[in-house]
Amino acid sequence: MLNQQGIFQIDEENIPLPGDPLPSNSRFYIERPPMESDAYAELLKPGGLLRIKASCNMGKSSLMLRLIHQAINQGYSIVTIDFKQADSQIFVSLHKFLRWFCINVARQLSLAPNLNDYWDEEIGSKISASIYFEGYLLEQIQSPLVLVLNEVNYIFEHPQIAQDFLSLLRSWHEQAKQTQIWQKLRLVVIHSTEVYIPLNVNQSPFNVGLSIKISEFNADQVTEFARQHELNWFDSGAVQQLMQLVGGHPYLIHLGLYHLRQEKISFPELLATAISYNGIYTNHLLCLLTILQSDPELSKAYYQIINSQECPHISANLIYKLDSLGLIKKLEGDNFQPACEMYRLFFQKENLIIENKNVIRLQQLEEENQRLKMLVNIDTLTQIANRRYFDNRFLIEWRRMERIQEPISLILADVDKFKLFNDTYGHQAGDDCLRQVAQIIDSVIKRPGDLVARYGGEEFALILPQTDAKGAMMIAEEIREKVRSWEIKIPSFTKYSQEKNIIRVTISLGIACIIPQTSLGFQELFEAADQALYQAKQMGRDCTILSSQFGYCQLS
């Protein structure tokens, strides 16, 4: 806004928070030529394919919003698929994943899905999806279609689906060279580089089209960013000091400028406390520390880089992983160094490799590492395990039960009519509800080996190793009865209305039990529990259904 002297001043409420995507019209967006112009040009190409990659908080989402804005100005149709919004059961099979994907595209184009008219299981899901796009979706629209695929790294956690889906995207891109209708499709593939899976590059879109790895800020761009924050005292000397500390990492620069603009910290204090546990960069540094400590080989490689006068010989795979995490930068030849001085100082202080004689310090680090791992593995809303941790534990327990030939039970639970609950009472009330349901379920779990996790949205999942169908049914029914009789308290009600802040909800549960065999995978167990949950909802909800797929684990 303009003040009385006609000088533009920032509305304090509109200063963007570090890490938040910047709208396409934000004056805080700092262009990094020729990144934007190259990306815009690729969008205009018939059958264009644009790949945007970077580590977290480098600005991928902000660039995505500008690309979408540019496409809208060109009169293109836009569809955005964010894979982190997909429910866990979508990744059970390629068939289910591709149908979900196609239906989402159709609905965003305001078209009736009509999926069954084009889907033929006899010829496979990939060919069916291609026929659906070519024979229906692309035929129905007049303008080019920009298909933005965000957070593709979430698919990487499911390697078989990732391999098939990415090869499908490549085939669509190559179809544009032969078939005119495919030239309507412009693909934008966005992913974080922290997650790595080996892919056949000749069967994926990762060696075709235009690849953009988002770069760091240079000194001029940092200076302009400081000016946008009205830090007029932030001269070239301050820019040099800040960049010497954190490099040109957009998020780290933004975090520093934001705190300086809010006067939450002085510049000398920011520099002095950068690597301390009460500094503004603590969470970022601890997150990287957790990743390194979870991989001893990677930790050792980084230890060599930050402590060696000469660049040590490190395998190309480890260099790739460290670069993907944003921890190193390339010098001339095959030489590498820490991405910024803050990383060098912090990780030297943390002693990534510890001598055996220093047992006490090692134990302290292991305890701290376990605490940090728990933070990474906890769902922030409900404070129980998250999906990532559940998937890892599920695989571990499956293999253990396969080895000792004991049953494992899986319970999938879903809060009934939760969308209606959210629409009626609001998302804050919905969050209150999920928190309390999670506490109820967790209170039923007694044994250390059992695990409950929030698996996505209003869905919860439980692993019960060495538990037969009868035992799983007893636990599921106890959960159902407790939820049904519990008075869910919604504190947010009393803030805005005179309504009673107590409401009752119900929950539906599906159970599957199996003694793992080499001929069966854990996906079959998940599918059986998911189908049982579906049956529970079809039968009127507020009930428990035990899958009949694995007969030898049924109730006696």
> 458 an active-site residue?
yes
Q: Are 60 and 214 in contact (CB under 8 A)?
A: yes
Decide: 149 and 188 in contact? Cβ < 8 Å.
yes
Cis peptide before 268 (omega within 30 of 0): no
What Cα–Cα distance (Å) separates residue 94 from each residue in 100, 102, 209, 269? 10, 12, 25, 52
CB atoms within 10 A of CB 378: 16
To the nearest 5 percent, what fractions of the chain are helix, strand and coil?
A: 50, 15, 35
Among residues 216, 458, 459, 527, which one is catalytic?
458
CA-only gyration radius of the chain, Å: 26
Strand 185-192 to strand 49-54: parallel, antiparallel, or no bridges (unpaired)?
parallel
Cβ 281 vs Cβ 313: under 8 Å: no
Sheet holding 459-465: strands in order across? 451-456, 459-465, 408-415, 507-514, 544-546
Give the other-Cβ count within 10 Å of 116's Cβ. 8
Alpha helices in 459-552 (DSSP H): 469-485, 493-496, 522-538
CA angle 53, 41, 165 (to 5 degrees): 45
Structure tokens at 257: 């400028």
Lookup: tokens for 308: 């060696």
- Is the previous residue joined to 33 through a cis bond, with omega within 30 degrees of 0? no
Are the beta carbons of 509 and 542 closer than 8 angstroms? no
Give kind and range of the element (H or E) at residue 77. strand 77-82
Where helices occur in 351-466 by DSSP H, the ranges are 359-377, 387-404, 418-425, 427-444
The residues annotated with a catalytic role in the active site are 458
